Each structure stands twice: as C-alpha cells, then as structure tokens.
Amino acid sequence: MEFAKLKQVIAEVLNVDPEEITMETTFMEDLGADSLDVFQIIMGIEEEFDIEIPAQKAEHIATVEEAVDLIKSSIAASEE
C-alpha cells in the first residue's frame, strides 16, 4: 500500500508515468530528480502518510525502496 501511494506522489511531483517507477528506481539517476524535487517528494510523503521525516534521514534516500522503508518505520514509530 505504501508503494502505490508513494508512486502517485512521485508521479505528481516529477510528472512521470507511475508504471515507470519500481522499488529499484533511483530518484536522481533514473527519474532525473534534483534536490528540490526530492524535497517536494518528501513533503508529499509527509502529507500523504501523516508522518514527519527528519531531514537527516531524508538526505540519504536514493531509491524508492529506501523511501518505502522509511515510510514504514516512521508509521511504526508514530504508532508506538
């Protein structure tokens, strides 16, 4: 479920086809995102999932899979 929602956020920010996005997709190399695009994706994630992602963790997100893992851990932490 997180992956499907994340694909929509990425597709909206970067104006790409959600079908192009896989777990192995990298934001900068595969999708051509720059640091501002990644920041907008992080903001979209926070809004969509109602979580807060610390800046130091967000800086290290390179792939869609890393973003999904971060979303899952943030959701789990907020439920504790």
In this predicted model, what pLDDT tens digit does every residue of 43-79 receive, in sequence order? 999 999 999 998 898 888 999 999 999 999 998 988 8
Separation CA 50–CA 30 (nearest Å): 27
**Structural domain span for residue 18:** 2-79
Mean pLDDT value across the chain? 93
Instruction: State the total domains in the chain.
Output: 1
Question: In the predicted model, what is the mean pLDDT of residues 20-45?
Answer: 95
Predicted confidence at residue 59, as pLDDT, reads 87
Active site positions, annotated: 34
Look up residue 2 and give its amino acid: E
Supply the CATH number for residue 21's domain. Answer: 1.10.1200.10
Separation CA 55–CA 80 (nearest Å): 21
